[in-house]
């Protein structure tokens, strides 16, 4: 049965939407992502991305590799290839059952020659065994008997950037195609680093023995391999078969062909259905950690689950080998690069629901510290400067050129200037530590990142003797409309925060383990003068606000720019450009995305109500939300300040970013940061979760009138805390004893008891 609140449904077929649904229906497991291509249409952008496999060769910068496509399956009835774009589609329903993690298709078509055929499929990318994926096909014909030919194929004729003919590039060459019998295999190798990838797949009969070796033909061409089965068919009989797939790369093991052959043999022996039930039971465990229930609002319920499903599919615990790209494993947008999106937007979700994955994501930054050190050196600084865009080694891979909103070529400056990423990372480390108390991580990895980025900041800041202040010049803050600005408030405040924490951590590490401290000091060439200097800089960091009282100025000189407020919105409620009176947006006070408002959420304790209120009101009227990272922050601040009508509006924009394609770019991949923002909006916004300066967990919830309740689980200091917020009360239970505050009143929640706190 299709339970509405667990399913994302496409109930009409239009080839124009294929690319969008490929993103929405991507199935991923952190190790890899397979775009949701429909086997029965040639219109789309196939995508098979394996986390961590990057290549540069002739592209502008290193990019995620689109690997050979294992999904291809062609079905012919005599000489007619099933192609929905040439058939009459009599019935079509495709849906992603998020509870199970299975993509279903139910369809009925009429071919140009009049054959009426029912096709049902299922597909999963295993959450139990990351190397496996599989599909099931059930076919019946209503008015025809004859031959059905099923062509199981792995297609190596794939390239990156297929949406942009001018930069189409193939990052792999095919090394070998062979008959694995059972199944077929195609080995490719990346051009630059020669990372080898093997895709294999095998067709297996389902309930009726239709896949028979005596009717099999094996074929290979330059970049494709296939096996073709002939199946005699009769009307109104169901033909059922499975396609099983195994994937390995030379980043996993040495002998990829052997590993693959062995895995395929055991997958075949184990069978599609058993693997499927293992996968579903892994999904059940995942949902028991991550689910958010919204009772009373089906659209919001499906929307939030979609974000949680796809975000949790984008990562797995892999010892810090990889992180999450801005577009997940769902598309090539932003070339598979990792941004602050991970630490600031996605990480809170992982910290509070899957802390092992959060740790692995932070370890990725530790593992790429050497690249960060090289960036600092190349830019004339000391210490470690994390890249604005990161791929496999921490070197900056931000492209220098791109297209602006009018499709014109423009210089891209964030690689040089958007330096807040380094303190975004330390901020995230602290958030992780605060929620997990993982001392081992802080001692062995986190502290080193704090210290070496402090070294970077020490060399980056400029002393202004007139004001006796430290400044950071020529930067880009979160608002990318304004480049080369001085003293962006977000950047300076976070640097101040990060240096202060680095000073604190120097003492903390010394107390925890003097040997680790000494080793770190020797490795990073630190002494007491450095710690003193960090402290002086943080105390004297310039924050542009003084002239405007409580209203924080986004950067020095921002208030002098031409002012124009947003007054018109599109059909999705997104702001329309106001009349810029001949100016470029960079010459106005229009803001691309939450900047000051974000800062005030992140460092909430450091700003009073009046400052938050004034800044929120001012910037709300000027924020274009041209990035999907933006609405969630306004939603959270709306709840904090009691502007709840807007909170719901921004929340819905966030959760529906991809389902409604409200940024008009879902075809390029999933908006993973927005998904993290959706979790934050629900839990930090409506759930009112915050951590105060005494490291105490606080809840100040509010839910929309028409919701009956909002429920979620979080992990805090090793306890799993379940929260259900209703209009008159809050129900809380915890797996261990824990102290929390609800509406500023302290409670001790004893394990295994249910607490009902009346509002």
Contact 323, 675 (CB under 8 A): no
Q: Cα separations (Å) of 755 from 275, 378, 477, 723, 740? A: 39, 56, 43, 10, 12
**Least distance (Å) from ligand BGC to the CB of residue 390?**
11
Report the C-alpha gap between 169 and 67 in whole angstroms: 12
**Least distance (Å) from ligand BGC to the CB of residue 433?**
24
**Least distance (Å) from ligand BGC to the CB of residue 23?**
14
Q: With CB under 6 A as the contact rule, which of the stretches 20-28, 96-104, 266-274, 334-342 interacts with ligand BGC?
A: 334-342
- Among 677, 1, 590, 722, which Cα is nearest to 290's? 722
Question: Is 248 near ligand BGC (CB under 6 A)?
Answer: no
User: Which among 122, 417, 480, 556 is annotated as catalytic?
Assistant: 480
- Among 592, 688, 693, which Cα is nearest to 639's? 688
Question: Is 601 near ligand BGC (CB under 6 A)?
Answer: no
- Among 547, 544, 588, which Cα is nearest to 565's? 588
**Least distance (Å) from ligand BGC to the CB of residue 336?**
12
Question: Is 342 near ligand BGC (CB under 6 A)?
Answer: no
Question: Is 311 near ligand BGC (CB under 6 A)?
Answer: no
Question: Is 160 near ligand BGC (CB under 6 A)?
Answer: no
**Residue number, 627 or 713, with CB nearest to ligand BGC:** 627
**Least distance (Å) from ligand BGC to the CB of residue 656?**
17
Question: Is 366 near ligand BGC (CB under 6 A)?
Answer: no
Q: With CB under 6 A as the contact rule, which of the stretches 200-208, 275-283, 332-340, 695-703 interacts with ligand BGC?
A: 332-340
Question: Is 343 near ligand BGC (CB under 6 A)?
Answer: no
**Least distance (Å) from ligand BGC to the CB of residue 694?**
32
**Residue number, 45 or 627, with CB nearest to ligand BGC:** 627
**Residue number, 359 or 592, with CB nearest to ligand BGC:** 592
Report the C-alpha gap between 447 and 429 in whole angstroms: 9
- Give the count of beta carbons closer than 10 Å to the beta carbon of residue 228: 17
Q: With CB under 6 A as the contact rule, which of the stretches 114-122, 284-292, 339-347, 487-495 interacts with ligand BGC?
A: 339-347
Question: Is 593 near ligand BGC (CB under 6 A)?
Answer: yes
**Least distance (Å) from ligand BGC to the CB of residue 476?**
9
**Residue number, 629 or 732, with CB nearest to ligand BGC:** 629
Question: Is 673 near ligand BGC (CB under 6 A)?
Answer: yes
Contact 184, 174 (CB under 8 A): no
Q: Report the DSSP pairing between strands 292-295 and 755-758.
A: unpaired
Rg of the chain taking only CA atoms, in angstroms? 27
**Residue number, 369 or 629, with CB nearest to ligand BGC:** 629
**Least distance (Å) from ligand BGC to the CB of residue 565?**
21
Annotation marks residue 480 as catalytic: yes
Contact 11, 92 (CB under 8 A): yes
Q: Which of residues 96-155 bind ligand BGC (CB under 6 A)?
A: none
Q: With CB under 6 A as the contact rule, which of the stretches 130-138, 335-343, 710-718, 730-738 interacts with ligand BGC?
A: 335-343
**Least distance (Å) from ligand BGC to the CB of residue 305?**
22
Q: With CB under 6 A as the contact rule, which of the stretches 172-180, 333-341, 685-693, 750-758 interacts with ligand BGC?
A: 333-341
**Least distance (Å) from ligand BGC to the CB of residue 620?**
18
Among 25, 54, 77, 334, binds ligand BGC (CB under 6 A): 334
Question: Is 341 near ligand BGC (CB under 6 A)?
Answer: yes
**Residue number, 593 or 632, with CB nearest to ligand BGC:** 593
CA contacts within 13 A on the Cβ side of 215: 16
Among 342, 623, 627, 647, binds ligand BGC (CB under 6 A): 627
SS (HEC) of 515-578:
HHHHHHHHHHCCCHHHHHHHHHHHHCECCCCHHHCCCCCCCCCHHHCECCCCCCECCCCCECCC
Question: Is 629 near ligand BGC (CB under 6 A)?
Answer: yes
Report the C-alpha gap between 619 and 330 in whole angstroms: 32
Q: Cα separations (Å) of 686 from 6, 180, 391, 680? A: 21, 54, 34, 9
**Residue number, 101 or 477, with CB nearest to ligand BGC:** 477
**Residue number, 312 or 593, with CB nearest to ligand BGC:** 593
Question: Is 480 near ligand BGC (CB under 6 A)?
Answer: yes
Report the C-alpha gap between 28 and 47 in whole angstroms: 11
Report the C-alpha gap between 282 and 126 in whole angstroms: 9
Q: What are phi and psi of 533, to 5 degrees?
A: -65, -40
Among 96, 226, 264, 326, binds ligand BGC (CB under 6 A): 326
Burial of 298: CB neighbours in 10 Å, binned 0-12, 13-18, 19+:
exposed
Report the C-alpha gap between 231 and 454 in whole angstroms: 67
Question: Is 421 near ligand BGC (CB under 6 A)?
Answer: no
Q: Which residues of 511-549 are buried (b: 16+ CB within 10 A; e: fewer)?
A: eeeeeebeebbeebebeeebbeebbebbebbbebbeeee
Report the C-alpha gap between 332 and 310 in whole angstroms: 16
**Least distance (Å) from ligand BGC to the CB of residue 167?**
19
Question: Is 339 near ligand BGC (CB under 6 A)?
Answer: yes
- Give the count of beta carbons closer than 10 Å to the beta carbon of residue 470: 24
Question: Is 63 near ligand BGC (CB under 6 A)?
Answer: no
SS (HEC) of 87-109:
CEEEEEEEEEECCCCEEEEEEEE
**Residue number, 206 or 399, with CB nearest to ligand BGC:** 399
**Residue number, 327 or 458, with CB nearest to ligand BGC:** 327
**Residue number, 39 or 341, with CB nearest to ligand BGC:** 341
Question: Is 386 near ligand BGC (CB under 6 A)?
Answer: no
**Residue number, 136 or 592, with CB nearest to ligand BGC:** 592
Binding mask 633-672 for ligand BGC (x = CB under 6 A): ----------------------------------------
Report the C-alpha gap between 439 and 526 in whole angstroms: 21
Number of residues that bind ligand BGC (CB under 6 A): 12
Question: Is 340 near ligand BGC (CB under 6 A)?
Answer: yes
In 111-155, at which residue ranges do the beta strands (DSSP E only) sit?
116-125, 132-141, 146-155
In what side-by-side order are the strands of the sheet with 755-758? 292-295, 709-716, 719-726, 729-734, 755-758
Contact 598, 612 (CB under 8 A): no
Contact 312, 28 (CB under 8 A): no
Question: Is 624 near ligand BGC (CB under 6 A)?
Answer: no
Binding site for ligand BGC (CB under 6 A): 326, 334, 339-341, 478, 480, 592-593, 627, 629, 673
Q: Which residues are catalytic?
A: 480
């Amino acid at each position: 049965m299709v339970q509405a609140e667990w399913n994302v449904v496409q109930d009409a077929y239009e080839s124009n939407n294929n690319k969008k649904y490929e993103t929405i229906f991507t199935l991923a497991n952190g190790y890899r992502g397979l775009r949701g291509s429909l086997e029965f249409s040639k219109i789309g952008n196939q995508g098979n991305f394996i986390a961590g496999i990057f290549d540069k060769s002739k592209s502008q910068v290193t990019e995620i590799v689109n690997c050979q496509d294992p999904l291809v399956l062609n079905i012919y009835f005599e000489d007619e290839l099933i192609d929905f774009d040439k058939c009459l589609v009599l019935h079509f329903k495709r849906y992603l059952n998020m509870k199970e993690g299975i993509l279903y298709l139910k369809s009925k078509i009429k071919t140009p020659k009049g054959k009426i055929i029912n096709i049902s499929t299922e597909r999963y990318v295993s959450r139990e065994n990351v190397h496996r994926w599989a599909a099931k096909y059930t076919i019946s014909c209503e008015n025809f008997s004859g031959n059905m030919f099923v062509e199981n194929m792995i297609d190596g004729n794939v390239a990156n950037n297929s949406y942009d003919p001018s930069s189409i590039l193939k990052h792999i060459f095919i090394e070998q195609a062979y008959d694995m019998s059972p199944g077929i295999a195609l080995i490719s190798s990346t051009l630059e680093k020669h990372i080898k990838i093997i895709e294999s797949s095998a067709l297996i009969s389902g309930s009726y023995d239709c896949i028979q070796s005596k009717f099999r033909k094996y074929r290979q061409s330059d970049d494709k391999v296939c096996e073709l089965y002939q199946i005699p068919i009769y009307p109104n009989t169901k033909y059922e078969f499975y396609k099983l797939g195994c994937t390995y790369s030379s980043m996993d093991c040495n002998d990829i062909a052997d590993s693959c052959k062995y895995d395929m043999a055991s997958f075949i022996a184990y069978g599609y259905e058993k693997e499927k039930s293992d996968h579903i039971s892994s999904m059940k465990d995942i949902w028991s950690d991550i689910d958010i229930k919204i009772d009373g609002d089906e659209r919001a319920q499906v929307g939030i689950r979609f974000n949680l499903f796809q975000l949790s599919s984008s990562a797995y615990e892999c010892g810090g080998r990889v992180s999450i790209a801005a577009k997940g494993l769902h598309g090539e947008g932003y070339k598979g690069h990792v941004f602050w999106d991970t630490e600031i937007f996605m990480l809170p979700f992982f910290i509070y629901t899957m802390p092992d994955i959060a740790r692995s994501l932070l370890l990725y930054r530790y593992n790429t510290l050497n690249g960060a050190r090289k960036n600092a050196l190349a830019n004339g600084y000391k210490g470690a400067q994390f890249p604005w865009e990161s791929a496999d080694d921490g070197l900056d891979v931000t492209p220098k050129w791109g297209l602006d909103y009018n499709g014109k070529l423009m210089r891209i400056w964030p690689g040089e200037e958007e330096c807040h990423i380094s303190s975004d990372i330390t901020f995230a480390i602290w958030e992780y530590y605060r929620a997990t108390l993982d001392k081992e991580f802080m001692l062995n990895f986190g502290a080193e990142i704090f210290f070496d980025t402090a070294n970077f900041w020490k060399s980056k800041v400029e002393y202004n003797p007139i004001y006796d202040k430290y400044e950071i010049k020529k930067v880009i803050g979160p608002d990318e409309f304004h480049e080369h600005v001085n003293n962006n408030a977000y950047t300076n405040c976070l640097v101040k925060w990060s240096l202060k924490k680095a000073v604190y951590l120097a003492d903390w590490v010394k107390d925890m383990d003097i040997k680790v401290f000494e080793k770190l000091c020797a490795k990073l060439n630190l002494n007491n003068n450095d710690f003193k200097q960090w402290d002086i800089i943080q105390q004297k960091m310039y924050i542009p606000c003084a002239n405007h009282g409580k209203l924080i100025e986004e950067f020095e000189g921002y208030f002098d720019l031409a002012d124009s407020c947003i007054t018109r919105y599109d059909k999705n409620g997104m702001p329309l450009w106001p009349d810029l009176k001949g100016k470029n947006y960079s010459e106005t006070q229009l803001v691309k995305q939450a900047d000051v408002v974000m800062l005030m959420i992140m460092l909430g304790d450091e700003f009073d109500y009046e400052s938050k209120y004034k800044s929120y009101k001012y910037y709300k009227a000027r924020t274009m939300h041209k990035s999907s990272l933006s609405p969630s922050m306004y939603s959270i601040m709306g709840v904090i300040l009691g502007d709840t009508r807007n909170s719901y509006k921004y929340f819905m924009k966030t959760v529906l970013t991809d389902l409604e394609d409200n940024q008009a770019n879902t075809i390029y991949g999933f908006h993973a940061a927005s998904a993290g923002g959706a979790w934050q909006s629900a839990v930090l916004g409506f759930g009112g979760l915050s951590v105060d300066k005494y490291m105490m967990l606080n809840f100040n919830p509010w839910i929309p009138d028409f919701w009956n309740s909002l429920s979620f689980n979080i992990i805090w200091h090793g306890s799993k805390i379940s929260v259900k917020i209703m209009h008159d009360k809050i129900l809380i239970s915890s797996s261990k004893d824990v102290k929390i505050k609800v509406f500023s009143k302290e409670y001790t929640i004893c394990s295994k008891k249910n607490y009902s706190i009346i509002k």
